[in-house]
Amino acid sequence: MAHNILVWIENVKGHAAAISHEAIGAARSIVDGGKVTAAVFGPNAGELAKEAIALGADDAVTCDDATLVEFRPEPTVALLARLARDAGADVILAGASTRGREVSGALAVELNAGAIADVTALELKDGQIVATRPVYAGKLLATVAPARKPAIITTRSRAFPKPHADAGRSGGVTGVAPALGEEAIASKIVDFVVEGEGEVSLADARIIVSGGRGVGGPDGFKPVAELARALGGALGASRAAVDAGWIPYAHQVGQTGKTVTPDLYIACGISGAIQHQAGMRTSKMIVAINSDPEAPIFKLARYGVVGDLFKIVPALTAEFKKRLGK
C-alpha cells in the first residue's frame, strides 16, 4: 500500500543530523509507491531540503522562521502536526535522537497516532508496515505494527544506512509559514554550551573505544582516548567509570547512559555488566580487552585480548597510527 511519508529533518545549527538522513533511507524502504516529503525547519532550510531530495526525498517543505532557529518542541510539533494533517500523512518518520523522541511523543498525542520508538528494522508485510525494536534493554526484540494512521516512527541511530546522494534527483521545495508565534511558545533558549567540540559524537560514531573500571582513574582514560583518536572514533565509558568521577556522564554507554550502534566497539577494562550491554549490544563487532578472562564482555566479543590494557591499548594505538598513516 502506497505510503505518504513525512520525514522530519533535525537541524543542528544549519546542518542536518546524520540520523535524519538515515530516516530518509528508512522511509524509502517502506514508501511502496507513495511519496517521501522532507520537513526542514530552521536556518539553511533550503539547502538542507535540496540535500534531503538528493538523498531520497521526493519533495520538501521548509520553514526558516525565527521561532525555529534553535530547536524547541512546541513550535516544531505544532508545525509538523499541521503539515501531517494537510498532507494526509500516513507515516511521520524521525530519528530516535533526544529531539526526535520529544517530537514523536507529543505528535502521537496531538494526532491520536500510533507511535513506535527507536526501531532497528522496518519492513512491509502484505503492504503493511512492521517495525522491529529492542525492548527490556535489548534483551528482547518486539515486532510492532501501527494500528491506525498516522503512524509515528523513530529510527535508532546507525540502524539504517545513510542513502547515497544522487545530485540528479529533483523535487519541489515549498516554503510554509510557522504554526506558532513567539508569544505562544513558553520555553526560551538561554544558551547552548557545545561540549566535546572536535570530538566524534557517540551517536554517530562508526568506531567507539570505551573504558571501564579497569582503567583505574581519570589518567587511565588517556590511552583509551588516544586509541579512539587514532581510529577516528568516539570515547565511551561504563557507568562504573562515570560514577567514580573519572569521566563526564556524556560519555556513559549503557542503560542509564547512551545507546550506541557502532560498526566496531572496543571495550577496555569493562567487565560487561548487563547495564553496560544494554547500551552497546547492537554494535556490529565487539572487541574486548580485559585482564579477567571470565569477564562477561568476552561472551559478546568477536575478538578478545586477555591482558593488561595499559600495555595492549598503547600498542594498538601505535600499530594503527602506523597502518593508517597518522
Could you list the beta-strand ranges (E) of 54-137.
59-63, 91-95, 114-119, 121-125, 128-135
138 touching another protein, by CB under 8 A = yes
* In the complex, minimum distance from the CB of residue 250 to another protein, in angstroms, rounded to a whole number: 7
Binding region for another protein (CB under 8 A) out of 37-45, 54-62, 211-219, 256-264 = 256-264
In this structure, what C-alpha cell is assigned to residue 139? Answer: 534483551
Q: Are 195 and 229 in contact (CB under 8 A)?
A: no
Burial of 206 (0-12, 13-18, 19+ CB in 10 A): middle
* In the complex, minimum distance from the CB of residue 88 to another protein, in angstroms, rounded to a whole number: 17
CA distance 320 to 322: 5
Which helix or strand (DSSP H or E) is residue 11 part of? strand 11-12
* In the complex, minimum distance from the CB of residue 171 to another protein, in angstroms, rounded to a whole number: 28
Angle formed by the axes of helices 73-87 and 98-110, to 10°? 50
CB of 40 or CB of 113, closer to another protein: 113
CB of 60 or CB of 89, closer to another protein: 89
178 touching another protein, by CB under 8 A = no
Site map 233..252 versus another protein, x via CB under 8 A: ----------------xx-x
- Residues paired with 40 in a beta bridge: 9, 62
CA distance 320 to 311: 15
* In the complex, minimum distance from the CB of residue 190 to another protein, in angstroms, rounded to a whole number: 4
CB of 40 or CB of 313, closer to another protein: 313
User: Is omega for the bond preceding 178 within 30 degrees of 0, making it cis?
Assistant: no
CB of 2 or CB of 324, closer to another protein: 324
271-290 residues in contact with another protein (CB under 8 A) are 274-275, 278, 284-285, 287-288
70-99 residues in contact with another protein (CB under 8 A) are 70-74, 77, 97-99
In this structure, what C-alpha cell is assigned to residue 178? Answer: 510557522
- Closest Cα partner for 238 from 274, 285, 200? 274
CB of 170 or CB of 249, closer to another protein: 249
Identify the residue among 127, 141, 172, 184 touching another protein (CB under 8 A): 141
66 touching another protein, by CB under 8 A = no
291 touching another protein, by CB under 8 A = no
Identify the residue among 33, 66, 88, 112 touching another protein (CB under 8 A): 112
184 touching another protein, by CB under 8 A = no
* In the complex, minimum distance from the CB of residue 207 to another protein, in angstroms, rounded to a whole number: 7
Q: Are 281 and 138 in contact (CB under 8 A)?
A: yes
| Residues touching another protein, count (CB under 8 A) | 95
CB of 168 or CB of 198, closer to another protein: 198
Which helix or strand (DSSP H or E) is residue 151 part of? strand 151-155
In this structure, what C-alpha cell is assigned to residue 62? Answer: 521548509
**Cα dist. 200→50, 107, 245, 297 in Å?**
26, 30, 21, 24
* In the complex, minimum distance from the CB of residue 214 to another protein, in angstroms, rounded to a whole number: 15
